[in-house]
């Protein structure tokens, strides 16, 4: 009676094939030599599992980098062309400006003459004892023009009714410097919002002038101005109190001319 060999019931009991024999059967060469531990490339799975520095510690952003630097307002000096000053008939600056702009349009000079400006400023005046801000010309009798000055543009500007000539030396127009342009046109360093108009107090009083106090405890007293503080818009008036001159500090709005 023949004996039947039972099949193995788990993988540990199965016969194994020698790698050299498997390579010979499949027609390939001998298997590559085993790589000693630690000399080969790291396991891919281990590389994926190992956390990187970027994953452990996120990038730190400096707060200053999140704040955009202020953008400076474009200077009128950096625009194309040069700035020049022309004389006009005093009191006719607006009319002459309109005349120049009309000639620019009618003669097709938009590519050569770009801007015609009357520099303005806000002046603080006192009318009826009240502070009033009035817009006035910085340089009465003058216009600022930005252009590429050549024979044709010079002719268009110079022959405009009301223009009496260019400002320059020896009859030759001289372009303005950066400082002169930026000072006259009053541009601020901020990027947004209109450029603020310059303000200066227009003094209606002078030292030694007689004035009357309009309000306050010294109302209806008269005296002479002894000192003027332009920054604070105040004056010291020598008021006669009980036969003695006493200096009293008052605001411009509290006095009136006699």
Task: Say yes or no to pLDDT of 12 above 50.
Answer: no
Question: Could you tell me the two tokens for 20?
Answer: 């050299």
Question: Could you tell me the two tokens for 65?
Answer: 């980098």
Task: For tokens 């003669």, name the residue.
Answer: 107
Task: Say yes or no to pLDDT of 51 above 70.
Answer: no
pLDDT band at 189 (very low <50, low <70, confident <90, very high): very low
Q: Which residues is 130 bridged to in the sheet?
A: 127
The answer to the question of residue 185 being in a domain is yes
Same domain membership, residue 223 and residue 181: no
The answer to the question of residue 62 being in a domain is no
Alpha-carbon distance 65 to 61, whole Å? 7
More confident residue, 190 or 78: 78
Task: Say yes or no to pLDDT of 170 above 90.
Answer: no
Domain count, the chain: 2
CATH number of residue 227's parent domain: 2.30.30.30
Task: Say yes or no to pLDDT of 164 above 80.
Answer: yes
**Which residue range(s) make up the domain with 225?**
210-257
**C-alpha angle with apex 171: 84 to 85, nearest 5 degrees?**
15
Same domain membership, residue 193 and residue 85: yes
Contact of 166 with 173, CB cutoff 8 Å: yes
Task: For tokens 């040069």, name the residue.
Answer: 82
The answer to the question of residue 11 being in a domain is no
Same domain membership, residue 161 and residue 128: yes
More confident residue, 126 or 98: 98
Average model confidence (pLDDT) across the chain: 75
Q: Which residues is 116 bridged to in the sheet?
A: 145
Question: Could you tell me the two tokens for 204?
Answer: 């209606």
Q: What sign has the CA pseudo-torsion 157, 158, 159, 162?
A: positive
Q: pTM of the full predicted structure?
A: 0.50
């Amino acid at each position: 009676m023949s004996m039947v060999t039972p099949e193995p019931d788990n993988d540990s009991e199965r016969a194994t094939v020698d790698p050299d024999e498997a390579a010979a059967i499949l027609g390939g060469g001998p298997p590559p030599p085993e790589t000693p531990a630690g000399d080969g490339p790291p396991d891919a799975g281990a590389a994926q599992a190992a956390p990187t520095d970027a994953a452990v510690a996120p990038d730190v952003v400096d707060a200053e980098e999140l704040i955009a630097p202020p953008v400076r307002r474009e200077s009128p000096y950096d625009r194309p062309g040069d700035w020049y000053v022309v004389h006009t008939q005093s009191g006719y600056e607006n009319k002459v400006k309109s005349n120049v702009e009309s000639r620019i349009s009618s003669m097709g000079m938009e590519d050569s003459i770009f801007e015609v400006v009357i520099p303005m400023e806000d002046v603080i005046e006192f009318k009826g004892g009240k502070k009033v801000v009035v817009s006035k010309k910085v340089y009465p009798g003058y216009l600022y023009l930005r252009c590429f000055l050549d024979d044709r543009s010079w002719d268009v500007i110079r022959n405009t009714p009301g223009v009496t000539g260019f400002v320059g030396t020896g009859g030759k127009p001289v372009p303005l410097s950066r400082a002169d342009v930026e000072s006259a046109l009053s541009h601020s360093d901020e990027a947004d919002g209109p450029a603020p108009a310059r303000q200066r107090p227009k003094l209606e009083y002078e030292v030694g002038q007689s004035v009357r106090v309009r309000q306050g405890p010294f109302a209806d007293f008269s005296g002479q101005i002894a000192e003027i503080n332009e920054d604070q818009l105040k004056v010291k008036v020598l008021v006669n109190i009980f036969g003695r001159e006493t200096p009293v500090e008052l605001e411009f709005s509290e006095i009136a001319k006699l």
